[in-house]
Chain A
Amino acid sequence: MYNFAYHKAKSVAEAAAQAGKGDEAKLLAGGMTLLPTLKQRLAKPSDLIDLGGIAELKGIRRDGNALTIGAMTRHIEVAESAEVRKAIPALALLAGMIGDPAVRNRGTIGGSVANNDPAADYPAALVALGATVTTNQRKLAAEQFFTGMFETALAAGEIVTSVSFPIPEKANYQKFRNPASRYAIVGVFVARTKDGVRVAVTGAGPAVFRQKEMEAALAKNFAADAIKDVKQNATGLNADIHASAEYRAHLVGVMARRAVAAAG
């Protein structure tokens, strides 16, 4: 690992000020992606600004018909939260499927969404549930927040502070895991809300996307059978040694049907 200067921020304002100073400053949340990246010398930040000591970024609360999760809330806390299990059990299920227990003990929702790994789990939940990402500067709808592979709408010095999830009528998440890394080869989050049905797919493409043909079919009839004839186009999907684009396209259908069936 290349060396860097380390700062432990006491508040979001302090972290934002420090992030704005160094050209190559990076924010450190749980570090479950950033630290392995640094160890491989794939990045060389001048400064690391640790968000781990900022109490205002932690916690889960119910605000009326939404669940708000602080950016530094760890996956294990979301997975085990009675509040999350009651309001959006699918979100607790998803958080419990991320990585392995040691990763869930460190990794955070804010870090996961800001990194926007194409195979990360949380982006699918945010897009399917129509979540809002709050930063120290503004509020963004999930679909505007995730802009491409490892890319988000975040500006330099902008820090995710929380994510708010409207509580759905029904939801579920199913993923086909890479057996070694546990990342999603394909993950599908299905949610039915008063505004309609959303189907968000992670792992299959360069970034999370909505499967609108399935959404339309499920809006008419929320049943696994309703989407059995919807074919996901393989063009532009990811292909690697684990799965071809065609196989991923096939898995989108399989995971979506499983998620609808499990959502009940």
Chain B
Amino acid sequence: MPSVTMTVNGKKATGNVEPRTLLVQFLRENLALTGTHVGCDTSQCGCCVVAVNGDGIKSCTILAVQCDGADIVTIEGVAKGDELHPMQAAFREHHGLQCGFCTPGMVMSALDLVKHNKKPSETEIREWLEGNLCRCTGYHNIVKAIKAGAETMAKG
């Protein structure tokens, strides 16, 4: 089996994987990073979004072998120790979740949005969430949370 090495949340991670192993399987099963969720496995729901070399990617639609040498950030790598990232704090503050299953992907997509657009409008946030499905909230509080999170991040 091919060996892969990548940096995950700042730490080097190595493993032997079958070529068909998806990145999300490698993260969850080899590295026990189960914060990245598999909601649909058909590339639609966005629960598995992680940052690969800085880009928000559905980790169920990329092979682990394609990520050899890549820098990966998952939801577990976002907070600073016990201190939530401003985007995570905004989700808590604005009740941006109910069951929480989609939340890791929502936060990772929100961070990808802020990378492209530091001051997103409500419309821009809604458009950016095209690939993230939430079956509980109706999205309103998620959108509010992302707007507030982006504003906090802009203040530094």
A contact residues vs B (CB 8 Å cutoff): 1-6, 8, 28, 31-32, 35-36, 38-40, 48, 50, 52, 76, 80, 99-103, 105-106, 180-182
Q: Knowing A50-B66, A103-B131 are in contact, say whether A5-B61 is a contact too (CB < 8 A).
A: no
Please pick, from A4, A28, A80, the residue contacting B116 in the complex, using a CB distance under 8 A: A80
- Residues of the A chain whose Cβ atoms lie less than 8 Å from the Cβ of B109: 101-102
- Asked if B19 lies at the interface with its beta carbon under 8 angstroms from chain A, I say yes
Question: Which residues of chain B (103-127) have a CB below 8 Å from chain A?
Answer: 109, 112-113, 116
State whether A3 touches B113 (Cβ < 8 A).
no
B25 to chain A, nearest CB (A): 10
A241 to B34 Cα, complex, angstroms? 37
Q: Knowing A6-B65, A101-B56, A182-B130 are in contact, say whether A1-B20 is a contact too (CB < 8 A).
A: yes
A195 to chain B, nearest CB (A): 35
A17 to chain B, nearest CB (A): 19
A74 to chain B, nearest CB (A): 8
State whether A105 touches B112 (Cβ < 8 A).
yes
- Residues of the B chain whose Cβ atoms lie less than 8 Å from the Cβ of A36: 42-43, 61
- Residues of the B chain whose Cβ atoms lie less than 8 Å from the Cβ of A39: 41-42, 60
How many B residues, CB 8 Å from partner?
29
State whether B19 touches A4 (Cβ < 8 A).
yes
State whether A3 touches B19 (Cβ < 8 A).
yes
State whether B42 touches A99 (Cβ < 8 A).
no
Which 5 residue pairs spanning A and B have beta carbons closest together? Answer: A100-B131, A6-B19, A100-B130, A105-B55, A1-B20
- Asked if B46 lies at the interface with its beta carbon under 8 angstroms from chain A, I say yes
State whether B19 touches A102 (Cβ < 8 A).
no
- Residues of the A chain whose Cβ atoms lie less than 8 Å from the Cβ of B42: 36, 39-40
Please pick, from B19, B41, B116, the residue contacting A5 in the complex, using a CB distance under 8 A: B19
Chain A residue with Cβ nearest B133: A180
State whether A101 touches B128 (Cβ < 8 A).
yes
Contact with A along B30-65 (1 / 0, CB 8 A): 000000000001111010010000011110111101
A180 to B131 Cα, complex, angstroms? 9
Q: Knowing A101-B113, A102-B56, A106-B57 are in contact, say whether A6-B63 is a contact too (CB < 8 A).
A: yes
- Asked if B93 lies at the interface with its beta carbon under 8 angstroms from chain A, I say no
State whether A48 touches B19 (Cβ < 8 A).
yes
- Residues of the B chain whose Cβ atoms lie less than 8 Å from the Cβ of A100: 46, 130-132
